[in-house]
Amino acid sequence: MQINLNFSRSGLYLGLVFFVIILILPSPETMSAVAWKTTAVAVLMAFWWITEAIPIAATSLLPIVLLPVLGITPIGESTAPYANPLIFLFMGGFIIAIAMQRWELHKRIALRIINYVGVKPSSIIVGFIIASAFLSMWVSNTATALMMLPIALSVLHFTEREKSDDLPVTNFEIVLVLAIAYACNIGGIATLIGTPPNALFAGFMLENYSIEISFVRWMSIGIPLAIVLLPLMYIILSKVVFPIKLKELPGGRKVINSQLKEIGKISTPEKRVAVVFTMTAALWIFRPLISNILPGLSDAGIAIAAGIVLFIIPSGSKKHQKLLAWENMRDLPWGILILFGGGLSLANAISSSGLAAWIGESVQSLETFPIILLIFAVILIVVFLTEITSNTATTAAFLPILASTAIGMGQNPMLFIIPATISASCAFMLPVATPPNAIIYGSGKVSIPQMAKAGLWLNIIIATILTIATYYFFAYIFGVEVGVIPDWV
């Protein structure tokens, strides 16, 4: 705690010192004064974001103050990104997730999946992986991990009571809890609302290039990637790093059955939330097919409509009670929404001030390196940086820089920013890397060396897979041609 406090304090002062120094010093000959001031703001925000000198959301409000005061962008332009449609998409997703949590629909879904898969050691782990990944596509990965861990600990506790003294369960425990954390991280990659970096990427593309990344378009790369990474993660954990020799798990079925008995039959509120959730997901997926009938329909509009409906539909459990009340919105992570706006506002300033163009011109010498090696380097940098920093803040800081770098090298910005966005959710080594990692570490069932051992394997292997996927699969899906700058840039 003391180390973190000193780290934050150092970031607070260093950020301010560099901010003032940059403003005092004259701008480089090839850079405009406005771009130089934007550099000062970007450096200050990067320091404060990475070190969490003040709350990340508070740092994200700086553009509203600094950009107009320094003459970089007027107040209207500075605040407009805080109302980006992707922010409302995420808000609607959060509201649906809160409704699922309020009526414990997410717990029922998880238990049903685990019960269906089976209760052998390998089956239980696979069940927890599928349940954690699926829920993290729609619900905060933090909330998913918080909900899945007690269920897992119940299984482990009952197993400890039922097992004989010579029955090895240690590796099973380690793999089970790590699999939950890692599945939450990977599952979030699959949809735009699964994890904040995904929405930041879509917002960045819309704000800077007027390119819409729809829900279904992101799923076309997110779902296949998750399908590949989840089994790979399971194999690495249970077969390579922590081999599981346990063939039978005593008491596993009893735990799941008791949990299902405890939640009872599906309630009326759960059914109604499930209907809203299913219809919302269907509209997101099939929106391109009905765009001719409802041309004004958008993913963000669908999300907010679903949120409003949840405040209208009666719960059916108590008189005059709705599926959601405004008091429930205290659990909505408003800070994440503000962070989106701050990141997009900074990115807009970097682009409009000429700083992006200057960065692009400065890195033209890198075009002599093989592009696939540069993609791999970008992924590794982001993966290992997010081991110690917020993945959302890192993504917000890196997107405009990487996009400018790609353009300066004569490449499509998507070649760098798509893998950077995804790799921000692929930090598996340390508890501080992601909230699910921290939650699982807090269970006491896994140590930092054990997490680091498994995470290092995953970081390197997944970075390699992401590189290949970017070069061949993502580029195909998004129409990216290597060595060609698209017209929309």
Question: Which of 380, 395, 367, 403 shows the shortest CA–CA distance to 465?
Answer: 380
322, β-bridge pairs: 314
Q: What is the reported pLDDT for 159? A: 63
CB-count burial class (<10 Å; 0-12, 13-18, 19+) for 346: buried
- pLDDT digits over 231-260, tens only? 999 999 988 888 887 666 666 667 777 877
Q: What is the mean pLDDT of each run of 10 residues along the chain (489 residues)?
A: 62 91 90 92 86 85 95 93 86 86 84 77 87 87 81 72 50 89 92 87 89 89 94 92 74 72 86 91 82 82 92 82 89 83 86 80 71 89 79 82 86 91 88 80 82 89 92 88 84
Amino acid at 439: I
User: What is the dihedral sign for C-alpha 385, 388, 392, 393?
Assistant: negative
Whole-angstrom distance, CA of residue 323 vs CA of residue 98: 10
Whole-angstrom distance, CA of residue 265 vs CA of residue 4: 46
Whole-angstrom distance, CA of residue 306 vs CA of residue 313: 11
Q: What is the reported pLDDT for 144? A: 83
Structure-block tokens of residue 4: 């973190």
Our CA angle for 211, 141, 451, nearest 5°, is: 115
Whole-angstrom distance, CA of residue 414 vs CA of residue 398: 13
Look up tokens 């002062």; give the residue. Answer: 13
Question: Which of 212, 199, 213 shows the shortest CA–CA distance to 341?
Answer: 199
- pLDDT digits over 165-208, tens only? 444 456 888 899 999 999 999 999 999 888 888 988 998 898 88
Amino acid at 461: I
Cα–Cα distances in angstroms (integers) from residue 413 to residues 87, 179, 188, in the given order: 22, 33, 23
- Enter the DSSP assignment of 73: S
Q: Give one DSSP letter per residue of 408-460, joined into a string.
A: HTTS-THHHHHHHHHHTT---SSTTSSHHHHHHHTTTSS-HHHHHHHHHHHHH
Whole-angstrom distance, CA of residue 249 vs CA of residue 246: 7
Under 8 Å between Cβ of 173 and 467? no
Whole-angstrom distance, CA of residue 12 vs CA of residue 163: 52
* Residue 322 three-state SS: strand
Amino acid at 169: V
Q: What is the reported pLDDT for 1? A: 44
Q: What is the reported pLDDT for 363? A: 64
Q: What are phi and psi of 32, to 5 degrees?
A: -75, 160
Whole-angstrom distance, CA of residue 15 vs CA of residue 23: 12
Q: What are phi and psi of 121, to 5 degrees?
A: -50, -50
Q: What is the reported pLDDT for 4? A: 55
User: What is the dihedral sign for C-alpha 197, 203, 204, 206?
Assistant: positive
- Enter the DSSP assignment of 217: H
Q: What is the reported pLDDT for 250? A: 60
Look up tokens 């279904």; give the residue. Answer: 216
Look up tokens 């990115």; give the residue. Answer: 347
